[in-house]
Structure formats: C-alpha cells, structure tokens
C-alpha cells in the first residue's frame, strides 16, 4: 500500500478520514491488517509527509495509534501523553498538523483501565506526575455518581472518568485553539473523541 500524497490528501474530507480510521480499527480487531511495504513508504515520505489524521492518545504501551488503526508511515500524527491531556505544546502540534500539514481529523482517544485516570481517581502525588494528574481532576469532579467508592478500585467509576476526560479535552481544544475551532467551523477538519477497549481492541467513537 502506497503512502498519502498531497493530491490524495486534498481529496479527503473529514468524514472520509473518520471512516478510514474506523475501517482500520475494524481490520485490527479482525487481524486483517493491510500488507504494507514500510521501506517503500519510508522512501515515499522522505521529502514530504501528508498525514490524514491527528491522534492524541495515552502513553499506554498497549495503545499504539498506528497499530490499532492499522495505518502506515506518514498516515498519522501521533501525539502521546499520559491521560491524553491537553497543554499548549500539544495544541500547537495539532495546529501545525492540521493547518500546515493538512490533516483532516483530530481524535482524542482515551482507553479502558487507564493508569493515569486511576491515579487521578486516587489523588496520586508523585514528582512531576502530580502536575499531570491535576489536569485530570476536572474529569473526576464531573462524574457525580457514585458518591462513594470514588477510587481506582471501582472500575465503573474509572471508566466513567475516562470517558468524561475525553469530552473535556475536546472542549479544551475547541476553547483554547482558535485555529482548530475555525477549521472545524469551516468543515476543514473534524474533532472527535473515542475510547479504546484494551481487552477487545475495538474503538467506540463519540461525535
């Protein structure tokens, strides 16, 4: 399979980009990965990259975006940070990938059994991790039920917080990035959320 070019990238719509991600995840789940010549893609993208999607995901070793979306070299701008949180550097990277790089969709991807989310539920304090965990606290606070057992031992609570965090990070992107907000308003890009289930490999999208 060949890499995206500027011509093929320009033909893509945000809706087509989302479908490509959904189709790729379906292939991953069913172990039907596309055969790719990665060395060929390496050569094809050596002068220019033309990604079609930006994926903000967690650093969890089981959640590599290229693998779970069955994509090759040059297809995704992959941004990874514990808890898939937003900061100015990440927003700037997204703006570059979309406004300059031509990506058609931004995906905020959480995942089940997330260690960072569990840490936020337990109010973990550990070196520089403390600052990162603080960015997840609004998601914890936004989940009103249950009122007891609000900790990492309550798996249902943890998953609710993970979903809430995805939605809050999407809201953060739209609020803090005029560039991405304007591009979405012009239908140049889509901004969507999703949740990766580490037990099945499947992704549920939120639009």
Residue-wise pLDDT tens digits, 127-143: 999 999 999 999 999 99
Q: Is residue 1 assigned to a domain?
A: no
Residue 183 lies in a domain: yes
* Domain boundaries, position 165: 6-206
- Does residue 24 sit within a domain? yes
**Distance (Å, rounded) from C-alpha 53 to C-alpha 18?**
8
Q: Is residue 35 part of a domain?
A: yes
User: What six digits make up the tokens of 77?
Assistant: 């701008």
- How many domains does the chain divide into? 1
Residue 77 pLDDT grade (very low, low, confident, very high; cuts 50, 70, 90): very high
**Predicted structure pTM score:** 0.93
Under 8 Å between Cβ of 54 and 94: yes
Is residue 118 in some structural domain? Answer: yes
pLDDT at 45: 80
More confident of the two residues 35 and 76: 76
Q: What is the CATH number of the domain that holds 185?
A: 3.40.1050.10
pLDDT, tens digit, for every residue of 137-185? Answer: 999 999 999 999 999 999 999 999 999 999 999 999 999 999 999 999 9
- pLDDT, residue 22, reads 98
């Amino acid at each position: 399979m060949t890499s995206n070019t500027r011509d093929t990238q320009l033909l893509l719509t945000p809706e087509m980009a989302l479908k490509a991600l959904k189709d790729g995840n379906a292939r991953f789940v069913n172990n039907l990965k596309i055969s790719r010549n990665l060395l060929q893609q390496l050569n094809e993208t050596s002068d220019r990259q033309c990604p079609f999607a930006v994926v903000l995901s967690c650093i969890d070793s089981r959640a590599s975006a290229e693998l779970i979306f069955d994509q090759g070299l040059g297809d995704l701008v992959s941004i990874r940070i514990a808890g898939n949180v937003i900061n100015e550097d990440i927003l700037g990277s997204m703006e570059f990938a979309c406004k300059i790089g031509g990506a058609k969709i931004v995906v905020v991807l959480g995942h089940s059994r997330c260690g960072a989310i569990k840490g936020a539920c337990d109010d973990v304090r550990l070196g520089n991790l403390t600052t990162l965990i603080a960015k997840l606290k609004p998601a914890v606070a936004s989940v009103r039920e249950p009122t007891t057992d609000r900790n990492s031992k309550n798996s249902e609570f943890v998953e609710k917080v993970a979903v809430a965090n995805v939605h809050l990070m999407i809201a953060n992107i739209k609020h803090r990035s005029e560039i991405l907000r304007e591009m979405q308003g012009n239908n140049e890009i889509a901004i969507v959320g999703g949740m990766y289930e580490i037990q099945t490999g499947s992704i549920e999208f939120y639009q």
